[in-house]
Amino acid sequence: MSSSGAGEAAVSATGVPASSATGVQILDPRLLDQIGVVARRSIMRTLRQRGLLVFPLLFPLILFAINGSSLGAATKIHGFPPVSYRDFVLAVPFIQGALFVAITAGTDLARDIESGFFDRLALTPLRGGALLAGQLGGSVVVACVQSALYLLVGIASGVGIASGVGGALVLLALSVLIAFGFAGLGVLLALRFGTGEAVQGFFPLLFVTVFLSSSSLPRNLIKVHWFREVATYNPVSYLIEGIRSLIITGWDGEALAMGFGFALLLSLLTLGFASTAMKTRLVRT
């Protein structure tokens, strides 16, 4: 779908929210139509750009294969969990994939801003909430696909899921929630800075947060004091450990609470700030 085609479709799906007899605003089906149009456009644009789809899927798997085979000696460290290093490190691709989702979502929206398409949308009754939800909805679909792929590849390589089938479903839910939060961050960066280069410039900074976490070793086994302290205060550690607990431990209530808690907090914060930035950016004339 072209940009102009999406704009026409968005215009055709407009309307004013319906209200009940008491004056309380209710959900307008036409708002859902607008969200659906934007989400479909987001998904189709990603599918057309094979590089934005294939590389984010393959790169975390390549690192998983390299680290899983070359760092196996780490399992001999006293106190390391009694699992293979491949089991231990499988959680990392889910976080790396979420970072790629963030950059893709932010870059796509920034491209709309740079091309002037965003300004044209401001002339239509398309609501900012629909644009934001649709953009994030498209990112969630991509996150579902890549999370399922990472899980299947891990199982095919011999990784066992200690929490069973139910745990695998919870793992997918947590990974999609994490990707949603990071996608909100990507959209926020696009709305704040308005250029794809600015959004992509943040990717190395985001990627560093993965390395400065418990991605390679349990935090209690990190011997360098400053590294252990950074990993302890780094929220990414708890996102990784939440996913990892389902793979190597089973049902760890504390790890899951921390993982879901930080993922939800990230989602709420980025969504709230992105909504405010959207109101500023999408100025009606």
For every residue of 62-123, DSSP letters joined together read HHHHHHHHHSGGGGGSTT--SS-HHHHHTHHHHHHHHHHHHHHHHHHHHHHHHHTHHHHHTT
CA-atom Rg of the chain in angstroms: 20
Residue 119's CB is within 10 A of a number of other CB atoms, namely: 14
- The yes-or-no verdict on residue 75 having pLDDT over 90 is no
Q: What is the mean pLDDT of residues 104-130?
A: 75
Residue 29 within a domain: no
| Mean pLDDT, range 9-19, rounded to an integer | 41
- Number of independent structural domains in the chain: 1
Q: Helix, strand, or coil here: 19?
A: strand
Q: Helix, strand, or coil here: 211?
A: helix
Per-residue pLDDT reduced to its tens digit, 248-267: 999 999 999 999 999 999 99
Confirm whether 5 is domain-assigned.
Answer: no
Q: Is the residue at 17 inside a domain?
A: no
> What pLDDT is recorded for position 244?
95
- CA–CA separation, 191 and 207 (whole Å): 21
pTM as predicted: 0.82
Is 264 inside a domain boundary? yes
Q: What pLDDT is stored for residue 126 in this prediction?
A: 66
Pick the more confident residue, 176 or 6. 176
Q: What is the spatial distance between Cα 129 and Cα 274, in angstroms, rounded to a whole number?
A: 10
Distance (Å, whole) CA 172 – CA 155: 13
- Residue 282 DSSP symbol: S
At 31, is the pLDDT very low, low, confident or very high (cuts 50, 70, 90)? low
Assign 235 a pLDDT band (cuts: 50, 70, 90): very high
Average pLDDT over residues 173-192: 92
Q: What average pLDDT does range 126-154 have in this prediction? A: 81
Residue 176 within a domain:
yes
Q: For the segment 85-115, what is each residue's pLDDT rounded down to a tens digit? A: 999 999 999 999 999 888 888 888 888 788 7
| Angle value at C-alpha 24, between 30 and 7, nearest 5 degrees | 20
User: Given the structure tokens 């699992």, which residue do they identify?
Assistant: 83
> By percentage, how much of the chain surpasses pLDDT 90?
38
In a domain, 187, yes or no: yes
> Does residue 39 or residue 236 have the better pLDDT?
236
User: Per-residue pLDDT for 119 more than 80?
Assistant: no
Q: How far apart are CA 154 and CA 248, in angstroms?
A: 12
For residue 24, is pLDDT > 90? Answer: no
Question: Confidence band (pLDDT; 50, 70, 90) for 2?
Answer: very low
19 phi and psi, to 5 degrees? -130, 150
Are 213 and 240 within 8 A, CB to CB? Answer: yes
Integer angstrom CA distances of residue 252 from 16, 92, 202, 210, 234: 46, 18, 33, 22, 20
Distance CA 172, CA 11 (A): 35
The pLDDT confidence band at residue 59, using thresholds 50, 70 and 90, is: confident
Where are the alpha helices (H) located in 125-244, listed in sequence order? 128-156, 164-193, 196-201, 203-211, 225-233, 235-244
Least confident of 122-131, 142-151, 194-203: 122-131
The three-state secondary structure class of 25 is strand
Provide the 10 A C-beta neighbour count for residue 55: 12
The range of the structural domain enclosing residue 251 comes to: 50-128+137-281
CB 1 within 8 A of CB 41: yes
Q: Is 11 a member of any domain?
A: no
Average pLDDT over all residues of the chain: 81
Which of 123-127, 169-173, 189-193, 210-214 is the least confident region? 123-127
In a domain, 261, yes or no: yes
Q: Is the sign of the CA dihedral 76, 79, 81, 82 positive or negative? A: positive
